[in-house]
Amino acid sequence: MNQKLERMKELSALLTEASRAYYQADDEIMSNLEYDRLYDELAQLEKETGTVLAGSPTILVGYEALETLPKERHEAPMLSLDKTKSPEALAEFAGDHVILLSWKLDGLTVVLTYQGGTLVKAVTRGNGEIGEVITNNAKVFQNIPLRIPYQGELVLRGEAIITYPEFQRINEEIDDAEARYKNPRNLCSGSVRQLNNEITAKRHVRFYAFALVKADGVDFQNSRGKQLDWLRSQGFEAVEYRKVTAAQVPETVQWFAEKIQHYEVPSDGLVALYDDIAYGRSLGRTAKFPRDSIAFKWKDETMETCLREIEWSPSRTGLINPVAIFDPVELEGSTVSRASVHNISILRSLKLGIGDRITVYKANMIIPQIAENLTKSDSVEIPGVCPACGGATEIRSTTDAVETLYCTNENCSAKKIKSFALLVSRDALNIEGLSEATLEKFIGHGFIHTFADIFHLAEHRETIVQMEGFGEKSYANLIQSTERARETTLPRLLYGLGIPNIGAANAKLICRSFAYDLDQIRSATAERLAEIEGLGEVIASSVVDYFADADNQRVLDELLLELHVEKPELSGGVQQSLTGKTFVITGSVEQFANRNELKAFIEERGGKVTGSVTKKTNYLINNDTASASTKNKKAKELGIPILSERDFLEMCGAEDHAG
């Protein structure tokens, strides 16, 4: 059964990726025959197992927006668990009985109900007595089976979570640092309780079953472990557990403690539960807690150290966060030397001063935090100027009276993080190792103020190699990448400047039109630029306005001193036979190594390549000229010629192309 479920997951992923490529990117990664064969195999496995996994291509779940989430009372109150931080207490709890030790997941508890093998209801824990009905949202969780083999009424509990990698991905898409989510639990709670389940689907919520409430007619041999194993056989992902005796508790707790260092699922401890169902039920409950289970919270390891510095780290929103730098200590298996203090209010409450003795720990064994200030000298001065730009700072209070520090300079280099990120991006100078997060750190340290400063990072070697996430090797790779970037082309440079409305394709058009002469481009009039096919007045004005700014000219001049801009040989070069022609490329290519090479071939001859078929498109290139793809249909509707590569090369006067 498990092998069949694993194969179903594999098939579902393959078919979903093929559909996405075909319908969204007009790209075929498998033939229709192969797709149909795999689809039939999946459908047969679903029939054999009686299980349909979430996201299966054989079933579509529609998106639906609700005005409110209805509330519903649970049949039995969902109690909290009593807690301990002592492994000895867990062993005492076990006594002479076998217990299950499993993860205590840090998300949102959800109760699922299935009838006749179909998911009919999902309700959040709420306050333990009344929860919110989120059935619509649960149907788009990544791993919940929508149909299962068991045909009776099944009620189970589990935790909806968002993994750390997914949490990081979502936060990286939010420009405003203050708007980012504080932890995966908060993000998950908001995602599960959305009124529009299309938003929920994009958050990639997962569900881990941890308790079976009802499944009449199934013999679980009086074992909670067998209940979890049975849920797995129905297509659910169940929480990982270990079956142990009292004597095995310490080593098993240690096993979980080591695993959590790299565990992608948020967990704030463990749960101990008697495997013997009848015995657990016989114990009853207190007014607050069930007696058949207990939660184990990680005991935070704390270390004493000395505060050496408060680093003030500006962000793109102007917010300046205090970061504590202290003598390195070993915590939970790794060396830490810095911890965010978050805001001015926390800084003041800790009464921090340079040289103070402080204790530090890792919240949930992951995030370094200051636990206590033992000396409380309260001597840290709040800077009056921004470390990135030297502009004036001010303290602002939020609605809940939390005080934060801000840079007031609208032109602060830290606020221009996106412009630096564009300059070093793949289609511009292509400097590897300079992510937005790294740029933000370097700007915060005052290493980078203008574009040219990127090529002087070697001056800050000693500091960089000590920074979190860096070392000698990553530093060396970064410097090598910046040195390689000194050799570039004018289209890459022009695109990297971040001129409004100038993408990589328009940058190439402009450079070709001015014979790759930057001086001519810098002094060009809007009328001259607007004459370039495909540009127009708006884009022309953007270029003129950019170069009319004296600061932009100064920054560019400084950057040019660091670069060698290659100028292509124009005499006897390729004829501009495709000037004024717009192409769209779809499907696989045969005469070229890939689509990008075909695109470069077109642009080298004066043509332009876009991503979608419109009235402005002159030709669609697709080797499968008779396919029923979206782009082929659109081209036929608009009367746009569909060319194979052979047709295209013949039109260009080239019988063949050697890639």
362 is written with which tokens?
Answer: 């890792």
Q: Which of 188, 140, 144 is nearest to 164 (CA)?
A: 188
Neighbour-count burial of 578, counting CB atoms closer than 10 A to its CB (0-12 exposed, 13-18 middle, 19+ buried): buried
Return d(Cα 246, Cα 200) in angstroms, integer: 41
**Nearest to residue 79, comparing CAs of 295, 297, 296, 287?**
287
Name the CA radius of gyration of the chain, rounded. Answer: 31
Report the distance separating Cα 559 and Cα 111, nearest Å. 59
Residue pair 212/219 in contact by the 8 Å Cβ criterion: no
Separation between Cα atoms, residue 100 and residue 31, nearest integer Å? 48
Nearest to 135 by CA among 66, 187, 183, 81: 66
Based on the residue annotation, tell me whether 599 is a catalytic residue of this protein: no
User: For residue 619, which of 653, 642, 596 has the smallest C-alpha distance?
Assistant: 642
Task: Tell me if residue 76 falls in helix, strand or coil.
Answer: coil
Cross-sheet strand order for the sheet of 154-161 = 118-124, 108-115, 154-161, 206-215
3-class DSSP state of 488: strand
Q: How far apart are CA 69 and CA 200, in angstroms?
A: 14
Maximum distance among all Cα pairs of the chain, rounded to whole angstroms = 92
- Give the SS3 label for residue 554: helix
Contact between 221 and 270 (Cβ < 8 Å):
no
DSSP string across 226-294: HHHHHHHHTT--B--EEEE-GGGHHHHHHHHHHHGGG-SS-EEEEEEEESBHHHHHHT-B-SS-BSSEE
Cβ atoms of 412 and 313 closer than 8 Å: no
Residue of 4, 47, 85, 104 marked catalytic: 104
Backbone angles phi, psi at 213, to 5 degrees: -95, -40
Nearest CA among 489, 629, 625 for reference residue 564: 489
Residues 6+ apart with CB under 8 A from 127: none
Amino acid identity of residue 456, one-letter, is H
Tokens of 143: 């791993």
4-37 in b/e form (b: 16+ CB < 10 A) is ebeebbebbebbeebeeebeeebebebeeeebee
Contact 280, 341 (CB under 8 A): no
> What span, in angstroms and rounded, lies between the C-alpha atoms of 577 and 289?
79
Distance, in Å, from the CA atom of 656 to the CA atom of 455, rounded to the nearest integer, reads 42
Alpha-carbon span 419 to 245, nearest angstrom: 59
- Taking the C-alpha atoms of residue 113 and residue 133, their distance in angstroms, rounded to an integer, is 11
What is the rounded distance in angstroms from the CA atom of residue 10 to the CA atom of residue 55? 12
CB 120 within 8 A of CB 135: yes
Q: Distance of CA 424 to CAs 176, 211, 419, Å?
A: 21, 50, 9
**Catalytic (active-site) positions:** 104
